[in-house]
Homo-oligomer: A and B are copies of this chain.
Amino acid sequence: MISQTAEYALRAVVCLAQNFEKPLTTVQIANVTKVPEHYLSKVLHALVKGAIIKSQRGLHGGYLLIHAIDQLSLWTIINAVDPLKRIESCPLKLGAHKTNLCALHKKINQSMKLMEDTLKNSTVRTILDESSLIIPLRES
């Protein structure tokens, strides 16, 4: 439903949000998020290209969030690495359904929109603030 890659991206950004002062390296993020290190490196790169985070090479380098955490939605993060594509046109390519999706695809699309809207309305800050005793990525 949400790809592994998207889940990894969300973890990485939450991790960066929890440590927003200093750059974190791939290895550090991998340790906290439990994402395979080398795969994470690709995901982080996608987030850089998607302008969610920025990277700094060399000593004391690593990754930093670009956005304020209350401006950054889960949807934005997911979309940077693995767009949740809605149904824009008839999957069967029926001409008659071009402008108007049929009830089946409308309904599927609507259900996906609800999910999308929820993710659009959830900022990283929401996630950090809602954590009480259970802190994202933290064991205790």
Q: What is A's interface to B at a CB cutoff of 8 Å? A: 1-2, 7, 10-11, 14, 33-34, 74, 84-85, 91-97, 100-108, 110-112, 114-116, 118-119, 122, 126-131, 133-140
Sorted nearest first, the 5 A-B pairs with minimum C-beta distance are A111-B118, A103-B130, A114-B114, A115-B115, A102-B136
11 pairs, A vs B, C-beta closer than 8 Å: A2-B108, A10-B104, A94-B139, A96-B139, A96-B140, A101-B134, A103-B129, A103-B136, A104-B136, A108-B119, A111-B119
Instruction: Judge whether A10 and B131 touch: CB under 8 Å.
Output: no
User: If A1-B84, A7-B91 touch, does A110 touch B118 (CB 8 Å cutoff)?
Assistant: yes
**Residues on the B chain within 8 Å of A97, using CB:** 134
Nearest B residue to A85 via CB reads B1
